[in-house]
């Protein structure tokens, strides 16, 4: 997969403002999503965007602003993140999959087929849901995640991984310090959407410090689910075309796709289409929103052409 396969890069709609909704799942848990709208009369598949670990639906804003002009677009908050409830349980493959399907159905995306796109851990959840949805899924886009066995690749246990997520105290000393740290990742892409996404991922305490808006038990449960993921077992069950976008700096390693392609071949499934972004960090929806949006659109077109 290269730039020529993506087609025209979508423009952005800077004035768009999504509507927030919730769906109720088993146990009365509320799962929140942002509905960015889009052409209702289109026969093209809609898009559901799933964020990564310890972030929220707002992390997808740059991509959603581009997609909404041509596709119905929704971004969800995983349980324990953003404005979704944070119950003490349900951070497992079956329940997270049910949450995604509930949002897909509640948002009306199952009236036609849907493209699922996930970033980081969200790519794992998207893969689980794509396998469960079967032919209702028109495409699966793995944005720097979703094809690696984290336990095998990292050599860590979940508790060790969790400790590596701790932010330096100086970053959390105030909201201003936190926002300055996030802006410093890439000043050229820091804008109102990025500030909103950063603010949504933390809570400011009365003393001025900030802490993650995701509850510790939710992060711990999410990490355990991530370590339980076996891509060589899940991805061959996905009937839709699969696209993987690889960040070139601190992202998932391209060679980790080799065993996945072997597993797909053993199930008579085509290989994953890939595109690499050398020198670009993990947060591709922020750093390369044009290309990410174009890849999502291309995944939907590929599914339509094979019908």
Question: Each residue of 288-297: pLDDT tens digit?
Answer: 999 999 999 9
Categorize the per-residue pLDDT at 2 as very low, low, confident or very high, splitting at 50, 70 and 90.
very low
Tell me yes or no: is domain 3-149+215-306 CATH 3.40.50.1820.
yes
Q: From the CB of residue 43, how many other CB atoms can be counted at a distance below 10 Å? A: 8
Pairing of strands 114-119, 46-50: parallel
Quick one: average pLDDT of 102-121?
96
pLDDT at 8 over 80: no
Per residue, what are the HEC states of 255-272?
Answer: HHHHHHHHHHHHCCCCCC
> 107-128 b/e with 16+ CB inside 10 Å = b?
bebeeebbbbbbbbbbbbbbbb
Judge whether 65 and 13 are in contact, CB under 8 Å. yes
Note the pLDDT tens digit of each residue in 170-217: 999 999 999 999 999 999 999 999 999 999 999 999 999 999 999 999
């Amino acid at each position: 997969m290269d730039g020529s396969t993506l087609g025209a890069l979508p423009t952005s709609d800077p004035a768009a403002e999504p509507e927030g909704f919730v769906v109720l799942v088993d146990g009365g848990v509320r799962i929140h999503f942002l509905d960015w709208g889009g052409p209702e009369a289109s026969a093209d598949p809609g898009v559901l965007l799933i964020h990564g670990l310890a972030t929220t639906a707002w992390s997808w804003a740059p991509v959603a602003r581009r997609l909404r002009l041509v596709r119905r677009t929704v971004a969800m908050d995983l349980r324990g993140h953003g404005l979704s409830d944070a119950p003490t349980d349900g951070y497992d493959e079956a329940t997270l999959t049910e949450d995604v399907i509930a949002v897909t159905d509640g948002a009306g995306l199952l009236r036609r087929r849907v493209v699922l796109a996930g970033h980081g851990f969200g790519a794992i959840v998207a893969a689980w849901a794509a396998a469960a949805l079967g032919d209702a899924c028109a495409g699966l886009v793995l944005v720097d995640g979703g094809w690696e066995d984290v336990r095998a690749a990292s050599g860590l246990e979940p508790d060790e991984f969790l400790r590596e997520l701790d932010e330096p105290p100086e970053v959390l000393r105030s909201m201003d310090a936190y926002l300055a740290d996030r802006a410093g990742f890439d000043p050229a892409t820091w804008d109102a959407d990025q500030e909103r996404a950063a603010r949504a991922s933390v809570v400011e305490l009365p003393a001025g410090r900030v802490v993650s808006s995701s509850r510790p038990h939710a992060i711990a449960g999410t990490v355990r689910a991530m370590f339980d993921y076996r891509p060589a077992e899940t991805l061959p069950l996905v009937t839709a075309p699969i696209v993987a976008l690889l960040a070139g700096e601190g992202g998932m390693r391209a060679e980790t796709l080799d065993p996945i392609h072997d597993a797909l071949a053993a199930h008579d499934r085509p290989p994953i289409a890939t595109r690499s972004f050398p020198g670009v960090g993990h947060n591709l929806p922020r750093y390369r929103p044009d290309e990410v949006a174009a890849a999502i659109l291309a995944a939907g077109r590929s599914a339509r052409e094979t019908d």
